[in-house]
């Protein structure tokens, strides 16, 4: 009897299930590993690769040793699949059932999809069948934030770092995408128009970026992944000669790092 050993990753606030698992939430995610393997050596080999890749403190061992028959060099082949490229797959699942391998999940772009599929295929010998049709290209963390912001301006009180009610509502709409991108680092960048002294505007832009970070933290977003920067008037996106242009330049930018 050949038994399945499944790799499962929860990397962007999506929920999956599986037998050989990695799962990530907002803080560094647990990597849950379960399944039935033929002996302690096979178990140790696979767990060692997972701990090397994700860190020993993140790996949760639910693997059992049972009366199953594995193909020749099965544990070596499975261990070869556990490589850094797999960390590009979010909400993903790698299912190894005897000589049959399936990989599913979301990657950021077509190049990553091809790289991951090629890795799984080339890591195994010709006796294995590989199905990578479940790999999908999804939205990147940057696109998630850009789509939620939708070119709107996060408003502050005039000359102040105090958010207006309208500014707070926009930040509230950004909370869910911020949770979805999990531990991805985000730079919060404050900008101003060119009215007033440059040094004062630099300080104000930084204070506004700090205010946004504090607002996110007060709503449960971990501050460790949020960096702040104040650019003042130095990076306008519109003409400061008009009131509309100055309003567009007084903005908060979110940059995924």
| pLDDT of 25 above 60 | no
Q: How far apart are CA 88 and CA 109, in angstroms?
A: 10
* Mean pLDDT, rounded, for 231-250: 92
Q: How far apart are CA 104 and CA 232, in angstroms?
A: 44
Chain centroid to Cα 119, Å, comes to 20
pLDDT, residue 90, reads 72
* Mean pLDDT, rounded, for 162-191: 90
* Mean pLDDT, rounded, for 159-185: 89
| Locus of tokens 């926009």 | 170
CATH topology of domain 141-256: 60s Ribosomal Protein L30; Chain: A; (3.30.1330)
Class of domain 4-137: alpha beta
Domain boundaries, the chain: 4-137, 141-256
pLDDT band at 2 (very low <50, low <70, confident <90, very high): very low
This prediction has a pTM of: 0.53
């Amino acid at each position: 009897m050949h038994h399945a050993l499944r790799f499962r990753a929860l990397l962007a606030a999506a929920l999956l299930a599986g037998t050989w698992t990695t799962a990530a939430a907002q803080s560094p995610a647990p990597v849950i590993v379960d399944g039935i393997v033929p002996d302690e050596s096979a178990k140790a080999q696979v767990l060692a690769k997972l701990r090397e890749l994700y860190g020993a403190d993140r790996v949760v061992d639910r693997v059992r040793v049972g009366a199953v028959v594995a193909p020749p060099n099965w544990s070596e082949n499975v261990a070869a699949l556990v490589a850094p490229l797999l960390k590009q797959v979010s909400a993903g699942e790698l299912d190894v059932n005897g000589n049959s391998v399936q990989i599913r999940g979301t990657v950021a772009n077509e190049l990553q999809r091809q790289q991951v599929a090629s890795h799984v295929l080339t890591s195994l010998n010709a006796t294995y069948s590989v199905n990578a049709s479940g790999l999908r290209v999804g939205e990147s963390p940057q696109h998630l934030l850009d789509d939620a912001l939708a070119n709107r301006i996060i408003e502050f009180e005039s000359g102040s770092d105090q958010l207006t009610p309208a500014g707070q509502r926009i930040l509230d709409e950004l909370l869910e995408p911020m949770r979805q991108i999990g531990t991805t680092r985000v730079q919060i960048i404050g900008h101003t128009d060119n009215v007033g002294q440059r040094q004062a505007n630099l300080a104000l832009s930084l204070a506004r970026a700090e205010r946004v970070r504090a607002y996110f933290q007060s709503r449960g977003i971990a501050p460790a992944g949020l960096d702040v920067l104040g650019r003042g008037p130095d990076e306008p996106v519109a003409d400061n000669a008009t009131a509309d242009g100055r309003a567009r330049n007084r903005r908060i930018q979110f940059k995924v790092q």
